[in-house]
A = this chain, B = another copy of it.
Amino acid sequence: MRGRSGRVTDHALVRPRVAEAVPVGQNRAVGAQSSLSPGIADRLKRDAAGLVAAIVQRHDTGEVLMLAWMDDEALHRTLTTGRATYYSRSRQRYWVKGETSGNVQRVVSVALDCDGDALLVRVDQHGPACHTGTATCFTGHELPVEVES
């Protein structure tokens, strides 16, 4: 959504009306309704739902915070707004991380992996990253590694 000046408005970032109207399904994969640069879109290897995995890492401590998902439009918004924006598979809508909790993620860098189906998003994390209130979504969920001798 752009204002008369052609600039993206704050409103567009908080309430992505256009995005919410995009139907979920196979067709989302082609990214036809996204403004993502074709040069980047061509490199994405999307799953059947049109998504790529996004690994989110704190840029300063190196902690891995969470795994989320992006389609072309979520990646476009992430790259152009500097606010980490994902696609929620359960809620079937875009979400700007921290839009309700305030625990926002300012994007420091984004890299695609060698085969185009995963993104590494390095962020400046405000507050806890997990919706449960822990620092990361992996905090407190260690599994036992018991190597057989």
Q: Interface code A65-101, partner B: CB below 8 Å = 1, 0 otherwise?
A: 0110000000100111110000000000000000000
Contact (Cβ within 8 A) B143 A112: yes
Residues of B close to A118: CB separation below 8 A: 66-67, 137
Copies of this chain, whole number = 2
Closest to A58 in B: B62
CB pair B137 A114 closer than 8 Å: yes
Q: Give the distance in Å from the alpha carbon of A80 to the alpha carbon of B146 in the complex.
A: 5
Instruction: Assess the B114–A146 pair: CB atoms within 8 A.
Output: no
Docked complex Cα distance between A115 and B130 (Å):
10
The answer on a CB contact under 8 Å between A147 and B80 is yes
A137-B118, A138-B113 known; A145-B67 Cβ under 8 A: no
Contact (Cβ within 8 A) B62 A61: yes
Asked if A113 and B145 sit within 8 Å, CB to CB, the answer is: no
**How far apart sit A78 and B146, CA to CA, in the bound complex (Å)?**
9
The answer to whether A81 and B148 touch across the interface, beta carbons within 8 angstroms, is yes
A107 at the interface (CB under 8 A from B): yes
Which 7 pairs, one residue from A and one from B, show the smallest C-beta to C-beta distance?
A62-B62, A82-B147, A67-B118, A111-B138, A113-B137, A120-B138, A114-B137
Residues of A within 8 A of B (CB): 7-8, 40, 53, 55, 57, 61-64, 66-67, 75, 78-82, 107-115, 117-120, 130-132, 134, 137-139, 141-148
